[in-house]
Chain A
């Protein structure tokens, strides 16, 4: 019982610490970590998003970064057209959702690895289209985005502002994820992941629910993309390569499929590790960063094949 109570408070303590951190960073000589933390947060959002598709519904998606790209470019293009920044974020989410729903309608009848390769194909199609449609996206030269400083009253440092904004988004994402997970809808998804036929013959409209999970994912990616574009004030196709999709899949699987805490830890480790090495490794070792990164992937997988924090099911009170 005590342990359960401690666990209940852990997320709130973590959130509080994370929220206070950027204001202490300067004294800790760790401003760099505010930036890194923000980037980790963006990938937490991406991981939370993909967790609906891959973690809950068990649909293998290797092109998820396309929706991050769509979010980023929608935001950039909208803001350049004079749309206010918050509205641009809403547009980004809606656009990602719409494209994702259309894609899902066409390809979701494919199974397993066939779905993986088709989503990978879509990821590349999206990136190449962005790179080739110079008239709309300015092609490889990228688009500048006007600065938006939503939390200027808290800090003049844009890194701190976006760190906090992203933290709010992540916290919201975690709450939304856990609430949906622990409901009829979440149970339906996990049932589909575990056994599609049994799920259907238990009364779950499998195709609708797959489409739902697949689509909801894009809201997170679109929001993350929009925040990314606003923070960097610049978007280019180079940010949305296949490797990034693999990274997000790795975050979800390495963290623990379907486990919200797992996704957060997965992003912390996989996205945090290379920049920390950049900071802490001496010049002679800088080339080894991604060699170590690969080693981490292999070793963690071998020692924790179910993920760092595998999902655990909620325990019900049985003695009533």
Chain B
């Protein structure tokens, strides 16, 4: 035949159609297809790496204080997800897996949100390093999702910013020398520092009257048992002489 299309058409007319029988028969996705997210909360350490790398901000967390610790819930919004798989790649715990389920069809948007939660027991102490055994390899710093740890090999210093630390415990698991640990938290209390003029405002502000100030003798005492560590005294000190901190017994 002269017309190639004509030949093709007449050939097709008598051959089987190439249509997949999809709704009747299941059509498995191809290997490595990134479909619906499955989240295993038990594996999750709440490091937040996934959240950090998620470009459309499809991952949200909820932290709820419950008895026995924090209830940490992760929501994966499939209607917002780009299915790039970066969260899966970054999840060391393999808690996030993009499955090959592509039938993400729903009438309600709620049906398209994958959620999981677990209760994380409360961590007592701060991150500490047994600097005696530390080799300053820096693995902890590199793996810290919040960049709270700074390690300087040259000066052999290891510091942690406790404000940034979310106590995910990643560094502890990464540490080759197992020198990192969560120390028992030191008891906190009001610390009396330099510059006090013994005005007595702190004593007045204290809701439980734990502080006594004597201007004449220039003495400042606190009853640690009564103190509830509310911080009113620290807040109201005109000379900023008071602070909260660990107290040596």
Q: Is chain B found bound to chain A in the same assembly?
A: no
Chain B positions within 8 Å of A, measured between CB atoms, are none
